[in-house]
Each structure stands twice: as structure tokens, then as C-alpha cells.
Amino acid sequence: MALKFSGLHIGINRARLRCGIYLLLGAALFITGCSQQTPPKPRKLMAIPATLQEIHVLNDRSALLAKLRLTGTVNLTLTGRHGGTSSFQAHAVLLVDQNRVPHLLLVGTYLGQDAFEMGMNRQIYWLIDHQHKIAYVGRVALADRVPVGVMPLRPQRILQMLGITPVILNDQTRIAMFNVPHTGRYNLLLLNSGGGSLDHIKREISISRYTGQVREVRLYDRRGRVIAYSDLSDYHPLGQAFDGVELPTRIVIHYLDARADMNFHVQHAVLHFSGKSEFIFASPSFQGLKVADMDNPANWSITQRAPAPTTAK
């Protein structure tokens, strides 16, 4: 009996030893597995000197496209505060002149009638809904004061979304770059330099490493939220006379907070157009229109509560 008890005692000790070893091995494997499943560290952004070549490429392209005329068809959808939508399907002409001061004019017409118009010059920016006889107007110098989403479309953002505005570095703006794995793209980040943790992304530009084409642009607010983004595709060359410059023929822009979308199918493009900018981009007449002054904070809530338009084609 004693031998049996002794053998049982030894067997139990051996079993405990094996269990202890298994537990140690299991704990080690668990710790190893947890360390392998730890989320990857945030991607490190490359320093400014590493992106100088990319900045020069973008700025050279911006200089070539400083004066631009695009024609085609546009689908524009606006969503009202209570869910109602307004859709415009129109022939569109987009004029851009970035020499000295950015100017823009986008006009949509249907069956010879103006459907909508938006633009900006040295003094003011505007958006006109001809169907509902309303105009949103503000001074360029005060545009940044207007909260996101108050105005259905911001003309200033169209230029940024096309990816043709120059990248300007100064005391308030820094730039960083990172590669996007498995996409063949690298992204440039334009950062508002507030110092330390106050830095925030203003704009992100996604560029093909193989072609140099701008494929996507994202705009951010101070909280790091994407407020608008564009998809640029179907690039076609303008011809040998334009030094191989390519332009996207599909331009899709989404304004998230403003609940607006624009799909522009470019059918013809030229790098020059006749006429003086002060006349082409002159402030339009707002006679007969209900004007919402974007410089006046009292109008911000009023424009958000505007009734949702009906569909217009």
C-alpha cells in the first residue's frame, strides 16, 4: 500500500510538474501572440527635404494649368437639412485663372437656361441657384469664418479639389509625405503648423508614383475630420502642343458636411482663353435673387434651414 501511495504521490508530482511546464509554455505563447497582435505603430512621416522634388512637380503642373477652360456635363446634387435633394444635370463651363490671384467661374445651363453659377474673384465668392432664386455671397477675405456646411458649395474648394493649386510653404504650413502600401501611391500632407500638438492636417493629396497624376484630394477641419474629398480619374493628354500635360476627364467631388456631390465629365479642355479676368470673373448681378450674406453670422442658421429644393433637369 505504501508503494502504491508512493507511486501515486510521485505520479501526482510529475503530473503537477508537467502541468506547470504546460502553463508556462502556454503563458509564453499567449504573451508572444499578444505582442504579435499589437496594433502597428503610427506610420512615420518623411521629413520636408524628402518631398521637395514632389512639391516642384506639383507646382510646375500648377503653373502650366494656371489658366484653364473645361467644358462638359455636370451632375450636381444638393441635400437639404431635412433630407430633401435637388439635382441638376447640365452643360457646364469651368474657367480658372490662377495668375496672381485665384479666379474661378463654373456655370451650368440646361436648354439654354442658367441652372446654377458659382465663382470667385479678388473680392467676393458666390453661389447662385437660379431655380430657387437664391444667392450665397461673401467676401474672400472673410471666407474662413463661415462654418463648414452652412453654404452648399464653396467655390474655393473646387480649385483645391482639382489638385492644380500650388503648394506654398511658409511659417504656418509644413509638408510631410508617406507611401501608401499596395496602392502605388504616395500622399502629401499639408499641415497647419501651430506648434507641437496644435498641428493639424489641412489637405491631403494622393499621387501616383508611376504617372505623377493626382488621384485624390482630401480636405480636413481642425478636428481632423474629412470635410470634402475628390476622385480624379480617366486622365487624357491635351496634346503635344501642351508639353504632354494630362488632365482628368472624370472629376467627382463630395462635400460631406454640406451634403453635396458633383460629378463633372470633361469633354474638352484648353489651357488658354481670351478676355481679361476682371471682366470674365466680374461679380454677377444679384437683382431679383434672395441674397444670403455669408459675412453675417445671422444668416448662417437661416441658410441651413432653407427648404430642400425639388429636382431640376
Domain assignment of residue 310, yes or no:
no
Domain annotation covers residue 111:
yes
- pLDDT at residue 40, as a whole number: 38
Q: Are residues 117 and 68 in the same domain?
A: yes
Q: Is the predicted pLDDT of residue 93 greater than 70, yes or no?
A: yes
User: How confident is the model at residue 225, as a pLDDT?
Assistant: 87
Do 140 and 286 fall into the same domain?
Answer: yes
Sign of CA dihedral 256, 252, 293, 146: positive
> Are both 52 and 30 inside the same structural domain?
no
pLDDT of residue 19: 47
Single pTM value for the model: 0.75
Domain count, the chain: 2
Q: Is residue 1 part of a domain?
A: yes
pLDDT tens profile 160-194 = 899 888 888 777 777 888 888 888 888 888 887 66
What HEC string does 187-249 produce? EEEEEECCCHHHCEEEEEEEEECCCCCEEEEEEECCCCCEEEEEEEEEEEECCHHHCCCEEEE
Please tell me whether residues 29 and 144 are part of one structural domain: no
Question: In this structure, are 96 and 241 located in the same domain?
Answer: yes
For residue 265, tell me if it sits in a domain: yes
One domain, residues 192 and 65: yes
Can you give the residue range of the structural domain that contains 14? 1-38
In a domain, 5, yes or no: yes
**Do 147 and 61 have their domain in common?**
yes
Q: For residues 123 and 26, state if they share a domain.
A: no
Question: Same domain, yes or no, for 92 and 8?
Answer: no
Please count the residues of the chain.
313
C-alpha grid cell for residue 148? 463648414
Q: What is the pLDDT of residue 239?
A: 66
Using pLDDT thresholds of 50, 70 and 90, give the confidence band for residue 262: very high
Is the pLDDT confidence value at 153 over 50? yes
- Res. 112: pLDDT tops 80: yes
**Residue at 264: amino acid letter:** F
User: What value does the mean pLDDT take over residues 226-238?
Assistant: 91
CA–CA distance, 132 with 152 (Å, rounded to integer): 13
Residue 128 bridge partners (DSSP): 117, 135
Check which CATH number belongs to the domain holding 169 and give it.
2.50.20.10
The answer as to whether 311 is a domain residue is no
% of the chain with per-residue pLDDT over 90: 28
- Pair 16, 57 in one domain: no
Helix (H) or strand (E) holding 108: strand 103-110
Same domain, 85 and 230: yes
Is 43 part of any domain?
Answer: no
Q: Does residue 31 register a pLDDT over 90?
A: no
Looking at the structure, tell me whether residues 20 and 129 fall in a common domain.
Answer: no
User: What is the rounded average pLDDT for all residues in the chain?
Assistant: 76
Q: Which residues pair with 85 in a beta bridge?
A: 79
C-alpha grid cell, residue 104: 474661378
pLDDT of residue 10: 37
Instruction: Pick 65 or 21 by higher pLDDT.
Output: 65
Q: Is there a domain that residue 183 lies in?
A: yes
How far, in Å, are 140, 151, 228, 310 from residue 143 at the CA level?
A: 5, 11, 16, 28
Least confident piece of the model among 69-78, 202-211, 271-280: 271-280
pLDDT band at 241 (very low <50, low <70, confident <90, very high): low
Residues 242 and 23: their CA atoms lie apart, in Å, by 72
Residue 295 contacts by C-beta under 8 Å, 6 or more apart in sequence?
Answer: 138, 139, 142, 145
